[in-house]
Amino acid sequence: MRTKEGAIKEKVKKILAEVGAWYFMPSANGYGRSAIPDIVACVNGHFVAIECKADNLKPTLLQERELNRIAESKGTGICVNAENVDQLKDFLRGFV
């Protein structure tokens, strides 16, 4: 059974709320920069950007570049999919 990206985003938002994070979802309307992660969050003072993918999909090369640029700036850029979304809460608790 396939897991849709929207279902992953909903799980991520629920987890972010549970750990007390502030977050928003940048609008993908064609006017901004390409490959910005789906969810941008602040978890106990730490910048976290999350790219959400369906099933076990990985980020595109352009998305990977953005996640790497975030890491180079001392933020956290991660990709979450159906295989690892359940581990996200434990990962984020490392910031709390």
Instruction: Report domain extents, the chain.
Output: 5-93
**According to the model, what pLDDT value does residue 47 have?**
98
For domain 5-93, the CATH class is: alpha beta
Residues 54-89 have pLDDT tens digits of: 999 999 999 999 999 999 999 999 999 999 999 999
| pTM of the full structure | 0.93
Residues 11-53 have pLDDT tens digits of: 999 999 999 999 999 987 777 788 999 999 999 999 999 999 9
Burial string for 14-41 (b: 16+ CB within 10 Å, else e) reads ebbeebebebebeeeeeeeeebbbbbbb
Mean pLDDT, rounded, of the chain? 94
